[in-house]
């Protein structure tokens, strides 16, 4: 049941993102998949993220502050501190706020929010049946992993992510229910969201020893890059903490940077799944990759540091893929997509 509900929630979230994107950038009501990159708003595009952030700030101030952030830390907090109890309003406000953030150009993904929302569904079901704290945790994680499986079509990876980040144990009592949830989601995803992987990949030939060493170097350099990104996000959070105004207004301030960045380079707006596909096909190269990496990193860190709502996995895939593509220029092996996958894995 948790898996089925998680699949429906994921479908609803993705539908809502598409609707808001069409309304915000194309002034039409449609659930067709759309990206902000093709808009014709001109300089007015800089205002759209600010309007969305103002709405999110009001929702967080007068609804629930737990909708702030990218979802996974909030799920961890609910497990470690809140005895796996999540309020009903969080289950509603989190996906709505994330859809507004992403739909109005926020540089985020839907993965973190669906993890939090799916976890909220699992927690609410457990609370309704008056289950124990351990059972609540299992169902919360089952919902979170189910949401991850629905968005990315990765049931096995979702289980492993749940074990590593949320369960804190490797026991049949928790592992089996979570695996059942993701399996149900994988089956329901086909009629709801379509079959096949979200990022199709070509089969790469076996790598020789020299290429494997190059892959290790890519992993190490990407690790340093992730450390710089983390420091940048924490630095932005510290700067916002010093502002002499209520945190309700922080997302709007951060959205100013997003709007300006989107006016300069529209590619930094929104989820960016189309950019990931383009990078895999080798359509974004050299200076275009560098511009995407720097631009996405700046607007993402400022917006995330402001405490708005949205996920981090899709932006990290874009930035990691761009870095891998840049490094791949100096590696005389593999196709354009290989080193982007290598950087994503790190």
Whether residue 186 sits in one domain with residue 43: yes
- Residue 199: inside a domain, yes or no? no
How many Å apart are CA 109 and CA 61, to the nearest integer? Answer: 23
Is a pLDDT exceeding 70 seen at residue 40? yes
Residue 57's SS3 state is helix
182 and 77 in a common domain: yes
283: burial class by Cβ within 10 Å (0-12, 13-18, 19+)? exposed
Give me the DSSP letters along 78-115: HHHTSTT---HHHHHHHHHHHHHHHHTT-S-BSHHHHH
Q: pLDDT band at residue 79, thresholds of 50, 70 and 90? A: confident
CA angle 278, 266, 58 (to 5 degrees): 120
> For 248-287, how does the pLDDT look when each residue is reduced to its tens digit (9 = 90+)?
999 999 999 999 999 998 889 988 888 888 887 777 777 8
Q: Which domain holds residue 90?
A: 2-193
Predicted pLDDT at 239: 94
DSSP characters for 143-170?
HHHHHHHHHH--HHHHHHHHIIIII---
> Is 169 among the domain residues?
yes
With tokens 């891998």, the residue in question is 324
Element (H, E) at 308: none
* Residue 187 near residue 6, CB atoms below 8 Å: no
Q: CB within 8 A of 133, min separation 6: which ones?
A: 83, 84
Q: Which residues of 77-102 are buried (b: 16+ CB within 10 A; e: fewer)?
A: ebbeebebbbbeebbebbbbbbbbbb
Q: Is residue 204 part of a domain?
A: no
Q: Domain of 57: which CATH number?
A: 1.10.3080.10
User: pLDDT for 160-183, tens place per residue?
Assistant: 988 888 888 888 888 999 999 999
Same domain for 19 and 168, yes or no, is yes
DSSP-derived 3-state class of residue 309: strand
Please check whether residues 217 and 249 belong to one and the same domain: yes
What pLDDT score was predicted for residue 302?
93
At residue 291, the 3 state secondary structure works out as: helix
pLDDT at 173: 87
Q: Are residues 267 and 307 in the same domain?
A: yes
Residues 6 and 45 in one domain: yes
Of 132, 161, 193, which residue constitutes the final position of a domain?
Answer: 193
Tell whether 174 and 215 lie within a shared domain: no
CA distances to 26, 205, 302 from 332, rounded to whole Å, are 43, 14, 36
DSSP reduced 3-state for 244? coil
Say whether both 214 and 125 belong to one domain.
Answer: no
Give the total number of structural domains in the chain.
2
The reply to whether 202 falls in a domain is no
Q: Of the residues 143, 160, 193, which one is the last residue of a structural domain? A: 193
pLDDT range class, residue 187, cuts 50, 70, 90 = very high
Question: Do both 247 and 163 map to the same domain?
Answer: no
């Amino acid at each position: 049941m948790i898996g089925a509900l998680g699949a429906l929630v994921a479908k609803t979230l993705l539908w809502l993102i598409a609707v808001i994107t069409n309304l915000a950038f194309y002034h039409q009501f449609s659930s067709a998949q759309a990206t902000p990159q093709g808009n014709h708003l001109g300089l007015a595009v800089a205002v759209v993220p600010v309007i969305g952030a103002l709405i999110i700030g009001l929702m967080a101030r007068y609804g629930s502050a737990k909708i702030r952030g990218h979802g996974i830390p909030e799920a961890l907090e609910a497990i470690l501190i809140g005895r796996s109890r999540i309020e009903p309003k969080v289950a509603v406000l989190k996906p709505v706020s994330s859809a507004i953030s992403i739909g109005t150009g926020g540089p985020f993904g839907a993965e973190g929010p669906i993890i939090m929302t799916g976890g909220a569904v699992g927690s609410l079901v457990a609370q309704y049946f008056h289950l124990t704290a351990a059972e609540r945790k299992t169902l919360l994680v089952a919902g979170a992993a189910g949401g991850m499986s629905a968005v990315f079509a990765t049931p096995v990876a979702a289980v492993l992510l749940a074990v590593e980040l949320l369960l804190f144990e490797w026991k049949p009592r928790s592992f089996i229910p979570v695996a059942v949830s993701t399996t149900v989601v994988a089956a329901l995803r086909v009629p709801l969201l379509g079959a096949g992987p979200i990022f199709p990949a070509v089969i790469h030939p076996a790598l020789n020893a020299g290429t494997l060493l190059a892959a290790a170097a890519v992993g190490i350099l990407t690790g340093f890059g992730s450390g710089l990104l983390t420091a940048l996000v924490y630095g932005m959070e510290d700067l916002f903490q010093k502002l002499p105004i209520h945190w309700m207004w922080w997302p709007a301030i951060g959205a100013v940077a997003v709007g300006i960045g989107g006016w300069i380079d529209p590619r930094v707006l929104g989820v960016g799944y189309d950019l990931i596909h383009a990078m895999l096909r080798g359509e974004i190269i050299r200076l275009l990759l560098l511009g995407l990496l720097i631009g996405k990193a700046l607007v993402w860190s400022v917006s995330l540091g402001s405490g708005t709502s949205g996920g981090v996995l899709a932006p990290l895939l874009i930035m990691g893929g761009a870095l891998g593509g840049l490094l791949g220029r100096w590696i005389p092996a593999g196709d354009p997509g290989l080193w982007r996958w290598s950087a994503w894995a790190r």
